[in-house]
Chain A
Amino acid sequence: SDEALTHDEL
Chain B
Amino acid sequence: NIFRILADLSHLASIVILLETIRKARQIDGISLKTQILYVLVFCTRYLDLLTFRWTSLYNTLMKFFFIGTSVYVVKLMQDCKLTNPVSYKDMMFRDTFQIKYLLGPCALLALVFNYKFTVLELCWSFSIWLESVAILPQLFMLSRSGKASTLTTHYIFALGLYRALYIPNWIWRYYSENRLEKLSIFTGLLQTALYSDFFYIYYRKVMKGRGFELP
Contacts and interface: CB of A to CB of B under 8 A. Distances in A.
Tell me if chain B binds chain A: yes
A3 B56 contact: no
B116 A3 contact: yes
Interface residues of A, number: 8
Nearest to A10: B63
Interface string B70-108: 000000000000000000000000000000000000000
Contacts of B213: none
A7 B49 contact: yes
B63 to A, nearest CB: 5
Contact of A2 (B57, B116, B125): B116
Contact of A5 (B11, B49, B180): B180
B182 interface: yes
A3, A8, A9 pick with most chain B CB within 10 angstroms: A9
B167 A9 contact: yes
Interface of A: 2-3, 5-10
Interface of B: 4, 8, 11, 46, 49, 56-57, 60, 63-64, 67, 116-117, 125, 167, 170, 180, 182-185
